[in-house]
Structure 1
Amino acid sequence: MSRLDGKIAIVTGASGGIGRATAETFAEEGAIVYATDVTEPSPGFADARIRFFKHDVASAEAWDQLVVEAIARCGRIDILVNNAGIGGSMAPVTDENLESWDRVIAVNLTGPFLGMRAVLPHMRERKTGSVINVSSIWGNAAVAFGAAYHATKGAVRQLTKHAAVVCGPDNVRVNSVHPGVVATPPVLVAQSPEATSVILGASALGRMAQPVELARAMLFLASDDSGFMTGSELVVDGGYLAKGS
């Protein structure tokens, strides 16, 4: 028996990187997955259990449409992965512009808030469910750039704990995942090799994670294997925080 047999999952930011790997891993483990993003996946998903849904996580209306469709077709939602995120300008606080700040807040923080607000009532009513919010090592530690990114990922970390306390009596679990450097397009293409080298040099394993390594961490939190975990921070960073402490 697969670990997510019969489960219904929503994974945001799923057209590529960590989100795509998570959607595919969940489907391989038996889940029906609503893989959402603002852009179409290329190539498309090969697994028929993955249903792409075009979706702006910063839109409350888009969340309502997604939840209505998932429940109408599948009867319930068992798993929510709030993975969608952007870096914005990645400028330090003294150089950040308001337009970039507002968009990062909208996607990285308002998105998970809207997702939980839309999905948690259904999970609480059924007395079961797992929510996974993707934070970052920059939700735990800081560097001299990415002010808006830091602010949102730290807030997601704390919002996760709040939701865990609220929903614990209803047997709904809410946890956060904190990736380090992952081999995704924003890192491989947009991030400077110098910045990547500095971060990897400060980690114990000294390499990037592959997206599937984060997907397996999500699988653990989505499954019954983590049944006594809520309000927890699962750090998957190759030992960056350990070495830096």
Structure 2
Amino acid sequence: MSTLEIPDDLLREITGKTIVITGGSSGIGKATADLCIKLGALVVIGDITPPPNFEATKRYKFLKVDVSIWESIRGFFAQAKDLFGRIDHVFVNAGVAPTTDFLNHTLDSDGNIAPPNLRTINVNLIGAINTVWLATYYLQNDTRESSPAERSIVLTASASSFQNFRAADYTTAKHGVLGILRGLVGKLEGKVRINAIAPSWTATGLIPPEPFEALGVAVQNPKVVARSVVFLFASGTRHGDLIYSRDGIYLEINRATGGLLENTERLLGGVMNEDEVYRRIS
């Protein structure tokens, strides 16, 4: 599997495009917004709070949103569309750190086992579903005469989306995000492109850097990840890709030769896969 090159010239294809980003006030979302602005795009970011020292401009707007609340994310998209009159690309990025430890249970006031804290699931997975639901609506109902290749959704998955990772609620959510990609790639063919990123350890503020430094583990700058997001926006031929990033190295690991899908087909022994069967009977 060869590394992926991201040329600067291709990134400039987003000049003049309208980009909507959830979780855009920090980390990967903010780095992506900053890069999009630098490349001449129009950007609407949504988050609980604005970025530090944020100042809106003619091309850069902030809207408050909680992606886990339907009314909030629905209103966010309506306002984002009104701001610039169109939406070209959506970055489904909002997320929080793990919140539930399956080994430390608590009791309620009656002495019964309290339910798990589902905040991570609600934001990282339900919020992603809410955002993709609205993104597909707005992008498919764009009345402009433009190619579906010019409209796309990029999801923030994770390196934990395809391996064991002992933060169970976070891993469950990120496996689910990869499931959104794989569940929709066939349905959206020829309509809207959908891709995802799978960053390794990144300085997003969710986890303090000190433990990684003590272990000698590299933590990449979110600017590295932002380039992969904009690459997927700009590359009109990519659909169903999952780009893994680590310390400046990029790999497409879903559809590439030797990637996840090829290895899955090899393990299953060449039988007609479940997606093909479902396509034929539905």
Summarize the Cα distance change of 1:155–1:119 in structure 2 as closer, same or farther, 3 Å threshold: same
Instruction: Compute the RMSD of aligned alpha carbons.
Output: 2.5
Q: How does 1:1-245 map to 2 (within 5 A)?
A: 2-45=12-55, 48-89=58-99, 91=101, 93-95=102-104, 98-100=115-117, 102-126=118-142, 128=148, 129-143=151-165, 145-170=166-191, 172-188=192-208, 193-194=210-211, 197-198=214-215, 200=217, 207-223=218-234, 226-238=235-247
| Separation in structure 1 between the aligned mates of residue 56 and residue 35 of structure 2, nearest angstrom | 12
TM-score where L is the length of structure 1: 0.84
Higher Cα radius of gyration: 2
Question: Which ranges in structure 1 are unaligned for 5 or more consecutive residues?
Answer: 201-206
TM-score where L is the length of structure 2: 0.73
- The size of the alignment, in residue pairs, is 227
> Does the 8 Å contact 1:9/1:31 carry over to 2?
yes
How far 1:108 moved relative to its partner? 0.2
Counterpart of 2:198 in 1: which secondary structure? Answer: strand
| Separation in structure 2 between the aligned mates of residue 45 and residue 210 of structure 1, nearest angstrom | 23
How far 1:71 moved relative to its partner? 2.1
Write out per-residue CA displacement over residues 96-140 of structure 1, whole angstroms, 9 at most, x where no aligned residue: 77442x111110001111111112122123353110100111111
Summarize the Cα distance change of 1:66–1:240 in structure 2 as closer, same or farther, 3 Å threshold: closer
| Separation in structure 2 between the aligned mates of residue 240 and residue 211 of structure 1, nearest angstrom | 13
| Separation in structure 2 between the aligned mates of residue 231 and residue 197 of structure 1, nearest angstrom | 36
> Does the 8 Å contact 1:139/1:154 carry over to 2?
yes
Question: Which ranges in structure 2 are unaligned for 5 or more consecutive residues?
Answer: 1-8, 107-114, 254-282
> Does the 8 Å contact 1:27/1:47 carry over to 2?
no
| Separation in structure 2 between the aligned mates of residue 40 and residue 125 of structure 1, nearest angstrom | 29
> Does the 8 Å contact 1:180/1:240 carry over to 2?
no
Summarize the Cα distance change of 1:159–1:198 in structure 2 as closer, same or farther, 3 Å threshold: farther
